[in-house]
Amino acid sequence: MHEATVDHRRGSGTWAWARSGSWAAAATAGWLGLAAFGLAEEPAKSDPKSDAKAAMKAEADAPLDPAAAREVVQAVQRLRQAAQKKAAKAAPAEPPKRPERKVVAPTITPADLDALVAARLAKESPDVKPAPPTGDLEFVRRVYLDVAGVAPTPAQVREFVQDKAADKRARLIDELLATPEYARNWSRYWREVIQFRASNANAQQVRYDLLEDWIADQFERNRPWDEIAVGLLTATGRTDENGATGFTAAHTASPVQLAGEASRVFLGVQIQCAECHDHKTDSWKREQFHELAAFFAGGRVRRVVKASPGVRAAFAVEQTPRARYAMPDLKDPAKTIPVKPRFFLTSNGTEPAAKLPDGLSPAQLRELAASYITGQDNPWFARAYVNRIWTVLMGEGFYELVDDIGPEREAQGAEILFPLADQWREGGYDVRWLFRTLLNTEAYQRRARSSSSPAGRAQLAAACPSRLRADQIFEALAVALDLPVGGAAPTGSPKTADGKPLKPVKASAGPAAKNGKKAAEAAGLAGAVGKGAARNAGLRTPFNKLFGVDPSTTPDEVLGTIPQALFLMNGPIVHNRTQARPGTPLGAILARSAGDREALDALYLQVLSRRPTPKEVAVCGEYLGKAGDRKEAFEDVYWSLVNSTEFLSRR
Amino acid sequence: MRTESSIVQVAMNRHGVVGRRGFLKSLGLGAAGLAAGGLAPLGLTDLLTLRADELRKRQSACILLWMSGGPSQMETFDPKPGTANGGETKVVETAVPGISIAEGWEKTAGVMKDVALIRSMTNKEGNHQRADYQLHTGYVPTATLKHPGLGSIAACELGDSGFDLPHMVAIGGPTVGAGFLGAEYEPFIVPNVQRPPDNAQARVPVERFQRRLGLLNQLEKAGFEQAGGADRVRDHRALYKQTSKMVLSPRMKAFDLDQEDSAIRDAYGRTPFGQGCLLARRLVESGVTFVEVRCGGWDTHNQNNERVGKLAGQVDPGFATLINDLKGRGMLDRTLIVWMGEFGRTPKINATAGRDHFPRVFNVALAGGGVKGGQVVGASSADGTEVQDRPVTVPDLMASICKSLGVDAEKENQTAIGRPIRIVDGGKPVAELFA
């Protein structure tokens, strides 16, 4: 990377530090064989330039004469003394005491939530009859996709439907929440949330695969959401060793970008609009944005291993010992105005947050920012998360956008969201508890309705169908077309924590392709292969490139693209696997089915996890009747189901 | 009339933000208001048809020749013979007296009457990815907001909604996408000019393909549309209609270079870039609004002259033949060709006979699209380290491209949170180009 210019927009703190004479000290220290780090702390108040000049001169004059050596030693001493003096003056600053986390177990139940929903419906849409509860078939596909990110296999569907226990839905919810696939599904969701807005386009520097692994590990251990957020906001170390650094690396440690994204992702507040001017419609002031950015000064992404033949470059997220933050002066572009960190949201929403003492280190500031963002004295952290999860599970939430909430926006249904989020916050941000509570509500288990029916138009009266995310479509294709699982192939059916399949699974094994580019070409995904080869050779990465959508997009704005439609219409995978011949799912179905109806049932179960409706049976019957070639006609039905809206949707 | 145009305006803005609900809200109707008012629900696809097509039926087109890695100005169109920084590079005279360019670009020299050179481009960004983004969008990259690339802007502003090919095609690999303008304006990528685009051909005979589409439609009507999925089905159906129209379109033969004479294929050069230029011409001829042809390898930190020489061997015939070919077909006046990369290269030659990143001074070449050829705009200093005359910024260049295409650079699009973003922020078109 050859940076020809210094970009003042990012890391002005780092820049100030790097310029303030540390190179001189480092040069001297390096020559004396001292660890450069010991001295590179702070610029000396005495004239570092002349000191350094003396040292450099001495370095050049070899062999060393005693006078010059003395001069060098004195120079180093002066630097040391200055650093000590400075350190003594700025006595280790004490960050303000932040409240300890207290845990009060939440008491709100799914039934309580349903009562709140019913009360709102009665008030807002008294004439609307909510959609009836889902049948087992609708429910089983919905909950598998929402929790584990995979479609259920025909065997899993059959087993659930045949189960006569009254509590089978609650049990399945618990079982799915205990699978590694649950953790993986939601870690993919959050990886996408971060990746889609990344400002660092250098693929080498950000290990999204490790970021995803790290988040999956947290969800699997059910670490509270605040701890996960703190982990992401404060992580340091090599990006190829600590996946949590991905958040900071995704923004090249830029204070401005990190402030904007930390606020958007974790608080749902888009304060970054105030970067250049006071917010046009909201009350955020330009200073407030930069006061938040000041918490993130002093970080950097540094290359710690240079690439060489057989060795990949490595990068690390680091905190410098000290940093200053300044915002551009709008009146004079050549000037900057120093800004001290201060958090913009307060518990009561009126008084400004406490001022901070000077002299806090970037690491301390970063921890403080994480604490302000996730602390129990800030209600928006919980509301942002709860509203987001609610929106994904129900297809609509309490705000128009999941990442534009906060005190400046009005919630539709605050009487539901706020008590739920408040209890979840006081309960210590238990991620599984929230899923379990929401998934067990009647509100979640209602049938889908479109906007052509009153229940579809009224908030909370029906499930809103939404498009599946790329990873879910990839997994659904694996089930529908019986593709090989494992490796970089689809994850496959949920397994229990010890790796045993959760439910009967039938999956054909097959080798995952080794050459990612070739494999992508063969799969009709060549256009989706990005620059910087995918680390996991295989189809998931190019598939995600082709089908990926920013998860913060409002569900009803997620439209498909032409290349996606082409992939499903004409792509080799769908084409080859929908053939009726030995070794394909359809070949097997036709071979074992007694008649057309049985084969049709099996096909619907394979692709859409349900039985065909009488109308669909009639349409297919007519099609089969007119067709000259029965096998071909079945292939056409199979093709149509994989290309259907329903296949790409959660309903 | 007044109401009508305001509806159209809202509908056109929906890509950013005003989605189904936002749209209703902007009419003063929330979801509840809609239910109470008993208004027929509008799908996004309905909104699309509200678009005023006459606004989009302009014939202008743009072909961007993207030199990925940052082309050296000294070895392309701003040589400095006889100076230390200029190195060994020799110059060739062009068809325009007084304008000379680097050797290796003889064919381009021959069409210089149609080419305008800007030798005073200046910028601050020296990082590939960030500069690539900036030179495509006119904005520096930021988190939380993804700006649309030029091609997507042109597609959105100029593309005819009834057209059956994609409005924006990128040849030779992915490029900056549509950002907040949305999926509809994403570039259609042709990774390899020698192969037809991915999955663009039906796998079954046309009759059967159409039969399948009919069956799909019937099954959707009988199934998901009845079971709460009507909104999703409507959007999906519109997409499939558009996509199948493309698959079956006679215009798809534009992608088939075998339809061209061997002589013209030779003239463009039998290289991926040369053939990419030919494909670009065929696509524009078929009505595509914006084509980007990408050429990699310009990041010449070592052996600069040798490597640029090889690259010029591909780009020079492609560029010059494209100009001639468009002119011969009467298409040059309405087709802007832009030759550029993300920045220039250091005037000082480094220890490995290379040049490093240099955004402070670089050059861009433009042809067609109403641009007055045979001229040089601005100048770099004798040693190449400074802009000496008439600095042109990235927004100035963007505004000039907009002017050529007839796109209103001042127009504000809205992002998902309703933040207005100008197509070009702050630049002024370079007047000399249109004199």
Are B86 and B75 within 8 A, CB to CB? no
**Closest in A197, A549, A623 to B144, CB measured:** A197
pLDDT of the residue at A442: 97
pLDDT of the residue at A596: 96
Residues B185 and B218 in one domain: no
Residues A201 and A307 in one domain: yes
How many angstroms separate the CA of residue A38 from the nearest CA in chain B? 31
Residue B317: strand, helix, or coil? helix
Nearest-angstrom CA–CA distance, A140 and A642: 19
Chain B contact set for A468 (CB, 8 A) = none
Residues A77 and A202 in one domain: no
Tell me if B201 is assigned to some domain. no
A41: which DSSP letter?
A: T
**Closest in B19, B126, B301 to A554, CB measured:** B19
Residues B96 and B244 in one domain: no
Tell me if B10 is assigned to some domain. yes
Residues A235 and A368 in one domain: yes
Q: What is the pLDDT of residues A453-471, one digit of tens each?
A: 899 889 999 999 999 999 9
Dump strand ranges (E) for B271-411. Answer: 290-295, 335-341, 344-345, 357-358, 362-368, 375-377, 379-380, 387-389
Residues B285 and B391 in one domain: yes
Dump strand ranges (E) for A422-524. Answer: 466-467
Distances (CA, A) of B299 to B70, B131, B355: 6, 13, 8
Evaluate the CA torsion angle A360, A365, A368, A372 in order and state its sign.
Answer: positive
pLDDT of the residue at A275: 80
Domain boundary among A73, A89, A105: A89
With 60 as the cut, is the pLDDT of residue A13 above it? no
Chain B contact set for A4 (CB, 8 A) = 126, 343, 346, 356-360
With 50 as the cut, is the pLDDT of residue B294 above it? yes
Evaluate the CA torsion angle A432, A438, A444, A445 in order and state its sign.
Answer: positive
Residues B238 and B145 in one domain: no
SS (H, E, C) A74-104: HHHHHHHHHHHHHHHHCCCCCCCCCCCCCCC
Q: Quick one: average pLDDT of B189-208?
A: 91
Q: Quick one: average pLDDT of B276-281?
A: 98
**Closest in A251, A449, A613 to B143, CB measured:** A251
pLDDT of the residue at A80: 78
Residues A366 and A224 in one domain: yes
Residues B350 and B271 in one domain: yes
Residues A213 and A334 in one domain: yes
Q: Which of A559, A642, A650 to mutate to test the interface with B (most CBs of B within 10 A)?
A: A559
Q: Which of A645, A648, A650 to mutate to test the interface with B (most CBs of B within 10 A)?
A: A645
HSE of B376, CA atoms in CB hemisphere, 13 A: 18
* Chain-chain contact of A7 with B22 (C-beta, under 8 angstroms): no
Q: Name which of A107-111, B57-61, B121-125 the model is least confident about.
A: B57-61
Are A462 and A447 within 8 A, CB to CB? yes
What tokens does A600 get? 């049709």
Tell me if B18 is assigned to some domain. yes
Q: Quick one: average pLDDT of A505-522?
A: 56
pLDDT of the residue at B35: 37
Angle, helices A379-394/A225-234, rounded to nearest 10 degrees? 110
Tell me if A154 is assigned to some domain. no
Residues A77 and A212 in one domain: no
SS3 content of chain A, % helix, strand, coil (to 5): 50, 5, 45
Chain A contact set for B359 (CB, 8 A) = 4-5
With 60 as the cut, is the pLDDT of residue B23 above it? no
Residues B132 and B88 in one domain: yes
Residue B168: strand, helix, or coil? strand
With 60 as the cut, is the pLDDT of residue A39 above it? no
Residues B243 and B263 in one domain: no
Tell me if B98 is assigned to some domain. yes
Q: b/e for A173-188, b at 16 or more Cβ within 10 A?
A: bebbbbbbbbbbbbbb
H/E element, A142: helix A136-143
Q: Name which of A33-47, A61-75, A355-369 the model is least confident about.
A: A33-47
Tell me if A388 is assigned to some domain. no
Evaluate the CA torsion angle A42, A44, A47, A49 in order and state its sign.
Answer: negative
Looking at the DSSP assignment, which residues form a beta bridge with residue B294?
B66
Q: Which band of pLDDT confidence, cut at 50, 70 and 90, is reported for residue B52? A: very low
Whole-structure pTM value:
0.78
Domain boundary among A378, A405, A428: A378
pLDDT of the residue at A487: 53
- Based on its alpha-carbon atoms, the radius of gyration of chain A, rounded to whole angstroms, reads 29
Tell me if B337 is assigned to some domain. yes
H/E element, B273: helix B272-285
Backbone angles phi, psi at A292, to 5 degrees: -70, -45
Which residue has better confidence, A408 or A631? A631
Nearest-angstrom CA–CA distance, B279 and B294: 12
What tokens does B87 get? 């190195």
Tell me if A491 is assigned to some domain. no
Domain boundary among A64, A89, A114: A89
With 70 as the cut, is the pLDDT of residue A248 above it? yes
Q: Quick one: average pLDDT of B169-181?
A: 91
How many angstroms separate the CA of residue A448 from the nearest CA in chain B? 5
Q: What is the pLDDT of residues A386-412, one digit of tens each?
A: 999 999 999 999 998 899 998 889 999
Dump strand ranges (E) for A295-399. Answer: 299-305, 314-319, 326-328, 336-338
Nearest-angstrom CA–CA distance, B111 and B95: 7
Q: What is the pLDDT of residues A183-218, one digit of tens each?
A: 999 999 999 999 999 988 788 899 999 999 999 999
Residues B118 and B229 in one domain: no
Q: Can you give the residue range of the structural domain that contains A29?
A: 12-89
pLDDT of the residue at B39: 39
Residues B178 and B282 in one domain: yes
Q: DSSP letters of B237-272?
A: HHHHHHHHHHHH-GGGGGG-GGGS-HHHHHHH-SSH
With 70 as the cut, is the pLDDT of residue A47 above it? no
A34: which DSSP letter?
A: -
pLDDT of the residue at A355: 83
Tally of structural domains, chain A: 3
**Closest in A559, A562, A619 to B44, CB measured:** A559
Nearest-angstrom CA–CA distance, B68 and B343: 9
Tally of structural domains, chain B: 3
With 50 as the cut, is the pLDDT of residue B380 above it? yes
pLDDT of the residue at A389: 98
Residues B357 and B418 in one domain: yes
Q: Can you give the residue range of the structural domain that contains B221?
A: 206-248
With 60 as the cut, is the pLDDT of residue A20 above it? no
With 60 as the cut, is the pLDDT of residue A650 above it? yes
From the centroid of its chain, how far is CA B139?
15
Residues A78 and A191 in one domain: no
With 80 as the cut, is the pLDDT of residue A91 above it? no
Tell me if A289 is assigned to some domain. yes
With 70 as the cut, is the pLDDT of residue A74 above it? yes
What tokens does A406 get? 């906060």
CATH number at residue B175: 3.40.720.10
* ipTM of this predicted structure: 0.82
Please provide the average confidence, as pLDDT, over all residues in chain A: 84
Residues B28 and B107 in one domain: no
Q: For residue A472, count CB atoms less than 10 angstroms from its CB and return exposed for 0-12, middle for 13-18, buried for 19 or more.
A: buried
pLDDT of the residue at A58: 37
Residues B39 and B182 in one domain: no
Residues A210 and A346 in one domain: yes
pLDDT of the residue at A346: 72
Residue A169, C-beta contacts closer than 8 angstroms, at least 6 positions apart: A139, A143, A440, A445
Q: b/e for A344-371, b at 16 or more Cβ within 10 A?
A: bbeeeeeeebeebeeebbbbbbbbbbbb
